[in-house]
Amino acid sequence: MRLTVLAAGAWGTALAIAFSAKHRVTLWTRESDVTQEMLSLRENRRFLPGFPLPANLQIGTAFEAAVDGADLVMVAAPLAGFRATLQRLRESCQPVPVIWVCKGLEAGTAKFPHQIVAEELGADVCSGVLTGPSFAEEVAKGLPMAITLASRDVEFARRMARELHSPRMRIYANEDLIGAEVGGAVKNVMAIATGICDGLGFGLNARAALMTRGLAEIARLGVALGGQPGTFLGLAGMGDLVLTCTGDLSRNRRVGLALAAGKKLPEILAELGHVAEGVGTAREVARLAAELGIEMPITQAVEAILYRDEPAVLAVEKLLSRDPRDEAL
């Protein structure tokens, strides 16, 4: 299969490396200096240093040439650049199946990636999301993993899962596109909360409680939007949540740890050097939950810390002082 990966950040580069073992892969990036570096050094030293690019991996230097003749396009751009990338794809080639790997809600619109795809490429395009517990560095190393490919067209999901599946990258098809996207988006907010909890020294008991109640918030929102409850117990829900909240490679968890240490958000993001999707997603999820009348206290606490300068300790104290109630979704 001819596969084009659009955007050579850490995740896009890792996927291009992994899929090159089985497919003819072209990796494109808009940064000309990154392109030249990858061509000359066969390594993406800015976004994924230490991982040689396979000899058979093509590096795209022009967008139209990169997507021309592709059997599948995988969009690995962060959410901030997702719509613009789709618009360029629409203008550059005939309709082609599309899979995306970004997680979150678009700033200002609170739209999920599948809604943006429908607006920019049309509702009939074959499309889906690749999501689940996965860190770019481990993917590039070829370590074992399992993720979900979700699409409203379950036959497309099954076909692409078979094509992309490998012994070290198990891919499961899923028809609950909405549930998979909610799980992938909101778990990043919960990872920030967990980082704050750990950074304040609240211990493992508190972390477990926070993650469990965080999963309840994810499911509550997902079901309200039309997701299936079972999705949130699978790879795109609980699996991704566990990894992102506990793994030291998690950017969103590192944001929470830094907030607990008293650092300000601009400083944290500058030091991080990569996109932490949970930062923008927290505001959009809090707004969406308010519009729908859905109770999401952990999300609201993270939003207050990020955007209303509420001290992390105070936000956590408010969570702990909530009245007791029955355990429920």
**Of the residues 22, 103, 111, 187, which is catalytic?**
187
Q: Compute the distance between CA of residue 106 and CA of residue 268 in angstroms, rounded to an integer.
A: 21
Q: Compute the distance between CA of residue 97 and CA of residue 258 in angstroms, rounded to an integer.
A: 39
Q: How many CB atoms lie within 10 A of CB 263?
A: 14
End-to-end CA, the chain: 42
Helix (H) / strand (E) element for 270: namely: helix 265-272
Structure-token pair, residue 291: 């519009």
Alpha helices by DSSP H, listed for 108-239, are: 113-121, 136-141, 154-164, 177-199, 203-224
Beta bridge partners of 130: 149
Q: Compute the distance between CA of residue 142 and CA of residue 101 in angstroms, rounded to an integer.
A: 18
Verify whether residue 103 is a known catalytic residue: no
Q: Give the up-direction half-sphere exposure of residue 269: CA atoms within 13 A in the CB hemisphere.
A: 10
Residues annotated as part of the active site: 187
